[in-house]
Chains A and B, each alone.
Chain A
Amino acid sequence: MKPFTLPMPARYGINTALLIIFLIVGNAVTQSGMLGRAQNSLIIQIGFFIILAVSLNLMTGYLGQLPLGHAGFMAVGGYAGALFWRAQILPDGASIVVGLLLAGVTAAFVGFLIGIPALRLRGDYLAIITLGFGEIIRVVLNNIDWLTYGARGLQSIPRHSSFTVVYICVIFTCAAIHMLMKSRHGRAILSIRDNEIAAESCGVNTTYYKVMAFAVSAFFAGIAGALYAGNQGILVPANFDFMTSINILMIVVLGGLGSMMGSVIAASILTFLPFVLQPLNEYRMIIYSLLLIIVMIFKPSGLMGNYDFSLSRIIEKVVRRIQKAKGASADETR
């Protein structure tokens, strides 16, 4: 007997149905007023941290590079989106979509510009260049008062980051990166991580794929930045400092380099924990950094390794087990 496999349309159907149910439930809960303002905001925060972590994972987990300026892209996208939204030149619905796209594209463009020189160099230089770039962005945003209002902050940004908007962005990010990774482009990215010289000898244009991954990663970071702006209502350059980049990196590392599910879970937990453990806040970064060191020493692949969750695979497993049990009992009765 051939092992049971779910047909392709069924897999897509199940996943889509689940996602829609979750959207309706989530929307109902956040709209009902059951949760306070802080809780609602927390859910939104989890959302954009998932986007940030999943997009950084593309660079760190899949491509094997370590950019330290993710907050910089977030800032670029955040300011681009916020400025567009403040201008209010389009009706709300269209404005949200265009603003998010604009945020992503601006960040991706900046990522492209910085990626060309940075990615020609070896790993550690990339870390330092992106770190430097993140600082440059912050200094620039602080100093172009006519556009960003500098350190005083860009205020009265329309609060567009509703649960539905954030949720759709999260799903779009995860789906797009998942689809990308399961294509020839994704395999090219993975092959660069595993062995760059061999990848080149297979005709994989390594520079192209590094810059592409960098730009895609920046694109989603930019969207997350806009969502952040739409949640906070105010943007201050100091919010996008080195520590923000490190926070995102921690989520990715603890979740597991190369595991999207790991990034999602770690983003949820690490955003949720400080909220419930207020008294421990003083020790939070100490605990995180210790965790980071310990995980690197004892389980360098992160908590989830590169395991990725697949509902279809679990269903298949269960059905196969049932079939086996049935087959066994059929044998017995014979």
Chain B
Amino acid sequence: MLTHLINGLQLGSIYALVALGYNMVYGIIKLLNFAHGDVIMVGGYIALFALTFGLNPVISALLTVIGCTLLAIIIEKLAYTPLRFAPRLSLLITAIGVSILLQNLAQLFFRAGGRPFPSQLLLPTGSFSLGGVSLAYTSVITILASIVSMILLAVLVKSTKLGKAMRAVSEDQGAAQLMGINVNSIITFTFALGAALAGIGALLYAVRFPLIGPTIGAMLGLKAFVAAVCGGIGSIPGAMLGGYIIGLLEMFIVAAGLSRWVDAVVFLVLICVLMVRPTGFMGRNLMEKV
């Protein structure tokens, strides 16, 4: 039971980290960034190659985070910036296009099948015992790493000048611009920040499911988005809450022997949550001005 709980929290931590990326981008330009999951997939490959190349785990991790960040910035500049003032539908379709492009490029370069990820090179394997419960190092490190990342993010958004600018842009782009905030660079920064978290998410995901393939990002991204929506788009604690709920839910469904139904149940939960609380657990109600 407790093992499932820890496993669920581990999975939930990964979802929460990825969900934050969705959350921030949605909060700032109202875009459901379909390509976010695929950035994680690319991150997985970077980590895989860095580690098999024999690089130091810390350097590999840094490379992954930097790689994801750069990729997100490139995507934002090339595909999303030209559509800043286009209808939302166009932006959404573009994001889907980017997602499919990344998946198929990965498939072209790295072939369709999954490659085993040498997680033992990144994190210590094994487990320790605490109060009679055996805990895997990887689980504990995953949970701690994600919590630390989220606290740092919360501090950044709440108490720094940059964070204040981000909140201002998400509230009203026009007004923020008039206040002398460089809206374009704030949006790019938001993408970069989300992608950096995705990079960490990629490492933790690869440790948890050590098989990297071109489509790993799609499902992970979707589940994380479900977590973001359930928790409440635009809210950092919401993303955490949503991530842990989905992670725990999945683990318990698997524990109940219904693993074949996991995806269906996750989406069913999403539909139910949205029917009861259209803005998620901790989301704010946005009203259109008439």
Contacts and interface: CB of A to CB of B under 8 A. Distances in A.
Interface of A: 60, 64, 66, 68, 117-118, 120-121, 123-125, 127-129, 131-133, 135-136, 139-140, 142-143, 197, 242-243, 246, 249, 253, 257, 282-283, 285-286, 288-290, 292-293, 296-297, 300
A297 B218 CA distance: 23
A133 B266 CA distance: 10
A289 B260 contact: no
A293 B97 contact: yes
B86 A296 contact: yes
A288 B97 CA distance: 8
Interface stretch (B100-108, B164-172, B243-251): B100-108
Contacts of A292: 93-94, 96-97, 100
A143 B266 CA distance: 16
A152 B274 CA distance: 34
Main SS class of interface, A: helix
B88 A133 contact: no
Contact of A133 (B90, B103, B271): B271
A246 B270 CA distance: 21
A124 B279 CA distance: 12
B104 A132 contact: no
B210 to A, nearest CB: 24
Interface size on B, as a range, is 35 or more
B39 to A, nearest CB: 15
B246 to A, nearest CB: 12
A196 B229 CA distance: 23
Nearest to B289: A197
A135 B32 contact: no
Given A197-B290, A292-B93, A296-B94, A286 B79 contact: no
A248 to B, nearest CB: 12
Interface string B68-107: 0000000000010011001111111110111011011100
23 contacts: A60-B89, A121-B278, A124-B32, A128-B229, A132-B226, A132-B271, A135-B263, A136-B263, A136-B267, A139-B260, A242-B218, A246-B96, A246-B100, A249-B96, A253-B93, A257-B89, A282-B108, A289-B100, A292-B93, A293-B97, A296-B83, A296-B86, A296-B90
A145 to B, nearest CB: 11
Given A142-B260, A293-B98, 12 more contacts: A60-B89, A117-B275, A120-B278, A123-B92, A125-B229, A128-B229, A197-B288, A197-B290, A246-B96, A249-B93, A282-B108, A286-B105
A296 B31 CA distance: 15
Contacts of A282: 108
A143 B94 contact: no
Contacts, number: 115
Given A135-B264, A286-B101, A297 B270 contact: no
Given A249-B93, A293-B97, A117 B261 contact: no
A129 B268 CA distance: 9
A133 B93 contact: no
Contacts of A289: 97-98, 100-101, 104
Given A286-B101, A292-B97, A297 B82 contact: yes
Contacts of B90: 296, 300
| 8 smallest beta-carbon distances between A and B, as pairs | A132-B267, A292-B97, A139-B264, A289-B101, A289-B100, A293-B97, A285-B104, A300-B90
A131 B222 contact: yes
Contacts of A123: 88-89, 92
A98 B78 CA distance: 50
Nearest to A64: B89
B191 interface: no
A160 B239 CA distance: 49
Interface in B222-246: 222, 225-226, 229
B260 A143 contact: yes
Contacts of B270: 128-129, 132
Contacts of B275: 117, 120
Given A132-B271, A246-B96, A292-B96, A300 B104 contact: no
A262 B240 CA distance: 44
B261 A143 contact: yes
Contacts of B26: 124
Contacts of B226: 128, 132
A242 B267 CA distance: 14
